[in-house]
A and B are shown apart, each in its own frame.
Chain A
Amino acid sequence: GIQVEQSPPDLILQEGANSTLRCNFSDSVNNLQWFHQNPWGQLINLFYIPSGTKQNGRLSATTVATERYSLLYISSSQTTDSGVYFCAGAYNQGGKLIFGQGTELSVKP
Chain B
Amino acid sequence: DAGVTQSPTHLIKTRGQHVTLRCSPISGHKSVSWYQQVLGQGPQFIFQYYEKEERGRGNFPDRFSARQFPNYSSELNVNALLLGDSALYLCASSPDPSSATIYFGEGSWLTVV
Contacts and interface: CB of A to CB of B under 8 A. Distances in A.
B104 A95 contact: no
A48 to B, nearest CB: 5
Nearest to A101: B42
Given A86-B43, A94-B102, 6 more contacts: A40-B106, A43-B90, A45-B102, A93-B98, A97-B45, A101-B41
Contacts of A96: 33, 45, 48, 56, 58
Given A42-B104, A42-B105, A43-B90, A94 B44 contact: no
Nearest to A49: B100
Interface string A29-67: 001010100001111110010100000000000000000
29 contacts: A31-B100, A41-B37, A41-B88, A41-B109, A42-B104, A42-B106, A44-B104, A45-B103, A48-B100, A86-B42, A88-B43, A92-B98, A93-B97, A93-B99, A93-B100, A94-B94, A94-B97, A95-B48, A95-B56, A95-B98, A96-B56, A96-B58, A97-B35, A97-B43, A97-B92, A98-B45, A99-B42, A99-B43, A99-B44
Contacts of B98: 92-95
A96 B43 CA distance: 11
B31 interface: yes
B25 interface: no
Interface of B: 31, 33, 35, 37, 41-45, 48, 55-56, 58, 88, 90, 92, 94, 96-107, 109
